[in-house]
């Protein structure tokens, strides 16, 4: 792997971890937090692939995420997460 590619993949994984640790209440950023947590904790194939490219076990990052208290949703974030889930569920409904 080219050094620049390794740096780029490292930056993607680092950003995902930072997004997962977000503690604010901006709707846009909370959405990124939800997506990052799902991407990491559900072992998305792309996440697993990126980890393998830079020789990191996916479980290493997943265990770090589990230990961060910031990964939990704050009381300010919970209503936003619920609203995002409702919107997601509504968009999945088939309308006739």
pLDDT average per 10 residues of sequence, the chain (96 residues): 87 96 94 95 96 96 84 89 86 55
CA distances from residue 93 to 35, 79, 87 in whole angstroms, order as listed:
20, 21, 10
Q: Which two tokens stand for residue 25?
A: 């209440």
User: CA 32 to CA 84: how far, in whole Å?
Assistant: 11
Write down the pLDDT at residue 14: 96
pLDDT at 24 (0 to 100): 93
Query: CB of 89 within 8 A of CB of 34?
Result: no
pLDDT of residue 96: 45
Looking at residue 86, its pLDDT comes to 87
């Amino acid at each position: 792997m080219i050094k620049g590619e390794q740096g780029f993949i490292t930056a993607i994984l680092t950003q995902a971890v930072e997004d997962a640790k977000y503690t604010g209440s901006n709707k846009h950023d909370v959405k990124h937090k939800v997506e990052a947590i799902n991407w990491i904790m559900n072992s998305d194939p792309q996440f697993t692939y990126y980890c393998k490219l830079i020789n990191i076990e996916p479980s290493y990052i997943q265990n770090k995420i589990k230990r961060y208290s910031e990964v939990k949703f704050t009381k300010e974030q919970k209503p936003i997460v619920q609203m995002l889930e409702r919107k997601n569920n509504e968009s999945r409904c088939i309308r006739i």
